Amino acid sequence: MTFLTYLISGLALGSVYAIIALGYTMVYGIAKMLNFAHGDIIMAGGYVAFFAFTKFGLGPFMSILLSVIVSTILGVVIERLAYRPLRQASSLSVLITAIGVSYFLQNTAQLLFGADTKIFPALLTEKSFTLFDGQLTISYLTIITIVTCIIIMIGLTTFINKTKIGKAMRACAEDKGAAQLMGINIDTTISITFAIGSGLAAIAAVLLCSTYPSLSPTLGSMPGIKAFTAAVFGGIGSIPGALLGGLLLGIIENLTKAYLSTQLSDAIVFAVLIVVLLIKPTGLLGKKENVKV
Amino acid sequence: MSRPVLEVSNLGIDFGGLTAVNNLNLEVNEHEIVGLIGPNGAGKTTVFNMLTKVYEPSRGKILLDGKDIEKMNTVEVNKAGVARTFQNIRLFANLSVIDNVKAGMNNHCVYSVFDTLLHTRKRNDSEKAINEKAEELLKIFNLYENRNITASSLPYGAQRRLEIARALATEPKVLLLDEPAAGMNPQETDELMNTIRFVRDKFNICILLIEHDMSLVMNICERIYVLNYGTLLAKGSPDEIKNDERVIKAYLGD
Amino acid sequence: MKNLINDLFGKKNRARTISFLMVIFAYILIEVLTKSIRMSRLFTSLLVPTCCYIILGLSLNLVVGFSGELSLGHAGFMAIGAFTAVCVSGLTSSVITNETLRLMLAVFVGGILSGLFGLIISVPVLKLSGDYLAIVTLAFGQIIKSLITNIYLGFDADSMQFSFVTNELNLNNGKMLLSGPMGATDTAKISNFTSGFVLILITLFIIYSLIDSRYGRAIMAARDNRIAAESIGINISRTKTLAFAISAVLAGLAGALYALNYSTLQPAKFDFNTSILVLVYVVFGGLGNINGTIVATTVLYILPELLRFLKDYRMLIYAIVLIVVMEITNSEKMKQFFDKGKNSIFKKGEDA
């Protein structure tokens, strides 16, 4: 039973990683850049939800909505101001800019909200239920997290496959030049990608902060790196890959913490990543790219 | 009849379900210049890619000096004596012209990392020797004056010549040239033809070349293979090929 | 010897001559300044770390600039060098009383061990490239940090003791070398500016020797065009492994020098942010540009320290500087402006 408990909480953590990983993977797939500031959007989303709920007295739903809206705008503005002028630049320049944006967001948050850790309120629910005669306790938050992840996955997959914008996104991921010749507006498509990724980051922020209720300016870094790892794990650029990578990473992390060692869980998670990449060099569900000679 | 250096039998490759090259038999003899021609998409470059193991052939056998290269990878094939150029030029764009050639001599100057760090006599002598050899090669290809500029700043024709020089620097037995005259004007093409003949004689190698410029092919090649839809359409001397009905049909369409 | 001097200072390579002269001149200037006038403590405290980061920057440039592979885990190599050096110095402190000798030994062992770990990277280098290899280096750096955070190592008169994850050391009046997340404590500070200077010279010598050799050409050829490099018989994974290994040795040297400059040092210091920090230096200095790395590292390392008076705004301004410089150097308008400038200088005659 305890195994099941760890597995389910691992699944919940993995769901959060998966939602964040979607942001990384979509941006990588379409803009071909590693957006290291993505983790800090999570942090921003967390603070917005925190202030909306505790200071402005908005309800849980309105707080989350506001958090999503602000994060989405933030994501789009960052793309417009910082990344768009670098469309022709080397990937390293873009990477350094993303790091600059990351530092910028963290330090702005520190100036505005202070460096101290804030306790995130129980925005969603603190209740839980028991199964098997009380042997297994599951919190509703865990269920909400997993269900949210499933809904997002289904919604996003439908969006990408069925809508016009979704098709434009796939076309851009395949070949930007050709997409442009077909009349697709690259800039708009990339903006939408950032908007979706950032909005998802805000949802992830609320779920993450509800599970681990502490809020600080560097909140996003580690989940950011982990989710990025998850995206690579599943095959960066692949949406089902992000889900698979996120879930596996969450489960592996939780089970290692439970059965092997808390201190070594990071080392083990990253070691698993390396082993997976050695066996499948483009991640679990990644496509192999062929070079034409 | 001279000895074959490169012998290809029943060579074929499939990409997914598509057969790109099939049942190809070809040989290049000592001291020979052989042409490989055919319409666009006939599979000529694919043949080069198989010969250099950029692609792994699905079937068939490639013998180099009688030795099967089946187990070799691209690097080992080069060490065994096959060097090539590329249809879309692949120079080391940020290296100087002479360093491009010296990079080609990498396996012919043997000194260790320790020789490198300690600047031993072995290292210095070796560097001096390859420097001389590289300069000599550059002179042949009329690139000596530009030896210290970066390769990417050379004009197009010069870049094609540098690629040949770099391939020759590996001291091959067979040189594969993929459209060496593409983008050159008639005068440059003429010079190139002379240079190709010259290096063939000087380094005693055989050459297999893909080319669309028929004047060059008919002029320089002793024998020609014609590829169409991945299979061999015809082979023979330039005169035979020129008058071959099937070849004319393949080029002009039905 | 004559060859060597010719190689180093000959006309052939101006960038190389500038590198050495620049570093030597800076050293003499700083030495004279510190000896003649009282420099602030902040200034003198920055000298050794600056040397370390210059070496680290040069080391990373070898991988990123010359070999063309992105490494996001260089702090890991630095950490290996750092904590190895602390252990070597701690263990031999009673045997080797001469500090310079002990420093040399510690730095040497730190570099070698880090280099061995660099060879481990050759396993993924054989199979991966591009962003995927970059992720592996990131993961590698995290693993190293995580492992060192769990090592407890100490010794007393009777024995040397080691434990992993939990501190189970039972020392009898002994000395802790590594104490898990606390890292190294009570280390003898034996690094100094002169040793940093000498190590920079050694690093420059190694890198310039490598670049101007068959190995350097192979490394750069593999970077510029992988397929063409293979076609002329260059073994890609072997050359990339060599670049990683030598880079790891240099990063280890830097780490060793760094560690022996502080009495306490925590493994958390060598996290992802440190790797990124050095990457920023390298990109600012220019990929494959050695003098650029030296200057950029010095400026960018000292800049945040000089901005201390701005207090909380310091890192914010640093972030803005990063973004703005990237935007400016990559902007089309700026490029046109500079090209115009060049044209007006160099092409004056042709227009007439």
Q: Which residue of A has its CA nearest to B45?
A: A293
Interface contact flag, B94 C209, Cβ < 8 Å: no
Selected residue of A90, A288, A292, A293 to mutate for chain B interface (largest B Cβ count, 10 A): A293
By CB atoms closer than 10 A (0-12, 13-18, 19+), residue A79 is: buried
Instruction: Please give the pLDDT value at position C155.
Output: 87
Res A128: pLDDT: 76
CA B122/CA B166 separation, integer angstroms? 23
- Chain A: residue whose CA lies nearest to C123: A278
pLDDT for position C350: 34
Contact B151, B96 (CB under 8 A): yes
Reported confidence tier of residue C344, pLDDT bands at 50, 70, 90:
very low
Cα distances (angstroms) measured from residue A242 to each of A142, A283, B119, C349: 19, 10, 51, 59
Task: Return phi, psi of residue A190, to 5°.
Answer: -65, -40
CA distance C112 to C101: 17
Interface of C with B in 272-301 (CB under 8 A): 288
Alpha helices in chain A (DSSP H): 2-31, 38-54, 60-78, 91-113, 140-162, 164-174, 176-181, 186-211, 221-234, 239-255, 265-279
Domain count, chain C: 1
Residues A61-88 pLDDT 10s: 899 999 999 999 999 999 999 999 998 8
> Which of the two residues, C242 and A124, has the higher pLDDT score?
C242
Strand partners, C175: C155
The predicted structure's pLDDT at residue B17: 84
Q: What is the pLDDT of residue C118?
A: 92
Model confidence pLDDT, tens digit, residues A222-254: 899 889 889 988 988 888 999 999 999 999 999
Domain-located, residue C192: yes
Contacts of B45 in chain A (CB under 8 A): 293
Q: What angle do CA C85, C285, C252 make, to 5 degrees?
A: 10
Q: What is the pLDDT of residue A292?
A: 64
Neighbours of chain B (3+ CB pairs under 8 A): A, C
Considering only CB atoms, which chain A residues are within 8 Å of B49?
Answer: 293
* Structural domain that includes position B56: 4-252
Residue A134: which region, alpha, beta or left (left: phi > 0; alpha: psi -120 to 50)?
left
Tell me the average pLDDT across C197-220: 95
B30-48 residue pLDDT tens: 999 999 999 888 899 999 9
Question: Between C185 and C2, whose confidence is greater?
Answer: C185
pLDDT tens per residue across span C68-123: 999 999 999 999 999 999 999 999 988 888 999 999 999 999 999 999 999 987 78
Q: Which residues contact C269 (CB under 8 A, 6 or more apart)?
A: C79, C183
Instruction: Pick the residue from chain B with its C-alpha nearest to C243.
Output: B113
Please tell me which residue of chain B has the smallest CA distance to A290. B55
pLDDT, residue C331, reads 77
Opening angle at CA C257, ends C104 and C151, nearest 5:
100
Mean pLDDT, all residues of chain B: 92
Tell me the average pLDDT across C337-341.
Answer: 56
Asked whether the predicted pLDDT for residue A289 surpasses 70, the reply is no
Q: Does the beta-carbon distance from C225 to B102 stay under 8 Å? A: no
Lowest-confidence region among A98-102, B106-110, C297-301, C341-345: C341-345
Binned at pLDDT 50, 70 and 90, residue C342 comes out as very low
Q: How confident is the model at residue C176 (pLDDT cuts 50, 70, 90)?
A: confident
Q: How far apart are CA A273 and CA A271, in angstroms?
A: 5
Contacts of B91 in chain C (CB under 8 A): 224-225, 228
Round to whole Å and give the CA distance between B30 and B201.
Answer: 11
The string of pLDDT tens digits covering residues B190-236 is 999 999 999 999 999 999 999 988 889 999 999 999 999 999 999 99
Whether residue B14 is predicted with pLDDT greater than 90 in this model: the reply is yes
pLDDT digits (tens, 9 = 90+) for C240-280: 999 999 999 999 999 999 999 999 999 999 998 899 999 99
Residue C347 clears pLDDT 70, i.e. is over it: no
Which residues fall within 8 angstroms of residue B145, CB to CB, at 6 or more apart? none
Give a yes or no: residue C38 inside a domain. Answer: no
Q: Which two tokens stand for residue A121?
A: 């309120």
Confidence of residue A131 (pLDDT cuts 50, 70, 90): confident
pLDDT in tens, C281-316: 999 898 999 999 999 999 999 888 877 777 778 888
Residue A208 has pLDDT above 60, yes or no: yes
Per-residue pLDDT at C349: 35
Of the CATH numbers 1.10.150, 1.10.1740, 3.90.25, 1.10.3470, which one belongs to the domain with range A2-279?
A: 1.10.3470
pLDDT at A122: 79
- Average pLDDT on B138-162 reads 93
What was the pLDDT predicted at C5?
Answer: 57
Q: Which domain holds residue C258?
A: 46-314
pTM for this entry: 0.89
A and C: number of Cβ contacts within 8 A: 129
What is the distance in angstroms between the Cα of A134 and the nearest Cα belonging to chain C?
Answer: 34
Instruction: Say whether residue B54 is in contact with chain C using an 8 A CB cutoff.
Output: yes
- Which tokens hold the place of A194? 């950032």
Question: Please, which pLDDT band fits residue A200 given cuts at 50, 70 and 90?
Answer: very high
pLDDT tens profile C131-147: 888 889 999 999 999 99
Domain of residue C197, CATH code:
1.10.3470
Q: Is C79 helix (H, G, I), strand (E, B) or coil?
A: helix
The reported pLDDT for the residue numbered C345 is 39
Mean pLDDT of chain A: 89
- Of A46-60, A133-147, B114-128, the least confident: A133-147
φ/ψ (deg, to 5) at B89: -45, 130
**Confidence band, pLDDT 50/70/90 cuts, at residue B254:** low
Tally of domains within chain B: 1
- Residue C168's pLDDT band, with cuts at 50, 70 and 90, is confident
Angstroms from C82 CA to nearest CA on chain B: 24
- Residues 6 or more apart whose CB falls under 8 angstroms from that of B229 comprise B42, B43
Percentage of residues of chain C with pLDDT beyond 90: 56
CB contacts of A293 in chain B (<8 Å) are 45, 49, 54-55, 86
If you average pLDDT over every residue of chain C, what do you get? 87
pLDDT band with cut points at 50, 70 and 90 for residue A90: confident
In whole angstroms, give the CA distance from residue C279 to residue C69.
12
Distance from CA of C205 to the nearest CA of B (A): 8
pLDDT at B165 over 70: yes
Percent residues over pLDDT 70 in chain A:
98
pLDDT of residue C222: 95
Residue of B nearest to C210 (CA): B116
Q: What is the full DSSP assignment across B115-130?
A: HHHHT-HHHHHHHHHH
